[in-house]
Amino acid sequence: MSQKKEDKPRWRHDGITAGPVDDYLYSLLPKRDEVLTEMEEYASQHNVPIVGPAVARILQQYALTIAAKSVFEMGSAIGYSTIWWARAVGEKGRVVYTDGDPKNAERARRYFDRAGVASRIAIRIGDALEVLSEQKQEFDIIFCDVDKEDYPRAFRLVAPHLRKGGLFITDNVLWSGRVAEKNPSESTTKAILEFNRQLYSSKDFFSTILPIRDGVSVALKR
């Protein structure tokens, strides 16, 4: 039996795929460990944006596919996706967490300790785009989940900091289906539309959009 809509966690973002299909996809997911489960519950109760387990598995799978050892995360909130990245890169890997809220960072730090991945994660508090612009290295993966108005600016910053063959992955690129509106007036929708145009017209990337949850773009740097 499908879970009632009001009982669904807020991070589900239903609407891109048909409801029964969405329910089926989530029903297949293995149970998460205590830390991730607690984070999912906290995010739902406090309206904290996280990618949720279906998208998180995609992130981890891509990291494992290219044997990623370095990930830069733009917009980490309480660190839910950060833990999935950290588990993918292994003990010798490194993930850069970024968030502008010190309280989010402190909560994330406690989760990282409990999950046993704190040594793999560098916590940076501040504007994620500014932190990225200061980086001297190239990363295997850059993940974008910042304020949506900043997506076009984030796109312009990414290429020099991503290795050839690396992945630029972005959440919320279908924006609850609002990208399909004929004449969108919302600034966030316009920014995402511009970002998607940039992604697909760029000679630096080979891009696709996965229509799961709220839309995930995956761009391979040529």
pLDDT tens, N- to C-terminus, the chain (222 residues): 334 444 788 788 766 888 899 999 999 999 999 999 999 999 999 999 999 999 999 999 999 999 999 999 999 999 999 999 999 999 999 999 999 999 999 999 999 999 999 999 999 999 999 999 999 999 999 999 999 999 999 999 999 999 999 999 999 999 999 999 999 999 999 999 999 999 999 999 999 999 999 999 999 999
Sorted by where each begins, the domain ranges of the chain are 5-221
5-221 adopts what CATH topology?
Rossmann fold (3.40.50)
Angle between helices 52-65 and 80-89 (to 10 degrees): 20
Share of the chain above pLDDT 90, in %: 91
CA distance 220 to 165: 6
For residue 4, the model assigns a pLDDT of: 44
Rounded Cα distance between 32 and 30, Å, is 6
Residue-level pLDDT at 14: 66
The per-residue pLDDT for 15 is 66
Contacts of 191 (CB under 8 A, 6+ apart): 148, 149, 150, 151, 152
Specify the long-range contacts of residues 105-109, CB closer than 8 Å, at least 24 apart. 107/78, 107/79, 108/76, 108/77, 108/78, 108/79, 108/82, 109/79
Q: Which two tokens stand for residue 208?
A: 């696709």
Q: Which two tokens stand for residue 101?
A: 């809220």
Nearest CA among 203, 129, 213 for reference residue 175: 213
